[in-house]
Structures are given as C-alpha cells and as structure tokens.
Structure 1
Amino acid sequence: MPRLNAPLPAPVEKSKAPALIDPISVRIAIAVSMTGLSRSRLYELIKSGELEVVKDRSSTLIMVASLREVIERRRSR
C-alpha cells in the first residue's frame, strides 16, 4: 500500500530558451520574409553584385549586413 504522505519528487528544472542570436547570414527564403522582396528580386540583386552572398555547396546564404545596406539605400532614395 503506498504511503499517502510520501515526499513529492523534486521538480525537474525546465530548460531555458536559447539566447537570441543575430544571424550573420540567412537563406533566400528567410531573406524574402525579412524584407518582403520577392525571390526573383533577391536573385537580381545578387546577380548585380548589390547583395553579398556565400555559397556552401547548393545553399546560398545572404549576408545580413549586405541585406540591411541594400534596404537602407532604397529607403534613403
């Protein structure tokens, strides 16, 4: 028969949420959602050299700093 006033087990500490980290690069799909620009427009900016990218095998990573610079240039026009 179980004891009714047995001590409760110690609570398990929940893991904390990971710290938010500013990414240095993002994939095309994320850049689209960040900026509202279309995939086609992003590829045009990449082709013209306005956006700095890093290729890793089949992945294209857009440098966030470059993305911000392009948006700021457009904003100041």
Structure 2
Amino acid sequence: MPEVMARLKLGRSKVYDLIRSRRLTSIKIDGCRRIPAGAVQDFVLGQIQEAA
C-alpha cells in the first residue's frame, strides 16, 4: 500500500476508495490487501484516456 500511495501521490483513504469503487484492482492474500503493479499502470492509463 505505501508504494501505491507514493506512486499515485494519494492518501491511504483515497487508495482504499479506489479499491472499493473497483477503479483500482487489488487482491487479498492472507488478510493483506495487495495491488499488482500492472493494476496501478492500468489505472493511470485509464485516467489519461479519460482526460483526453
């Protein structure tokens, strides 16, 4: 989570909001929430396309 927060320059609550709204894909492993690097890249690309 800290790496995603730093990469997106967002707070913890906002990242969890994105996960809850299914705009950012995540998986749960043994109770820990994990966000694949590809999911972050897909999110950023989607945001760029929306802005265009």
Question: Do they superpose with TM above 0.5?
Answer: yes
- Shorter-chain TM band: 0.7 to 0.9
**Structure 2: distance between partners of 1:42 and 1:72:** 16
Q: Please provide the CA RMSD for this pair.
A: 1.2
Higher helix share: 2
Runs of 4 or more off by more than 3 Å in structure 1? Answer: none
Structure 1 counterpart of 2:7, one-letter code: M
Query: What is the TM-score of this pair, normalised by structure 1?
Result: 0.57
Q: CA deviation at 1:37?
A: 1.6
Percent of residue pairs bearing the same amino acid type: 20
Highest CA radius of gyration, 1 or 2?
1
**Structure 1: distance between partners of 2:42 and 2:48:** 10
Return 5+ residue gaps in structure 1 as ranges. Answer: 1-27
How many residue pairs end up in the alignment? 50
Among 27, 44, 51, the alignment partner of 1:71 is 44
Structure 2 counterpart of 1:37, one-letter code: L
Does the 8 Å CA contact 1:51/1:63 hold for their aligned counterparts? no
Is 1:36 paired with 2:9? yes
Does the 8 Å CA contact 1:53/1:63 hold for their aligned counterparts? yes
Higher strand share: 1
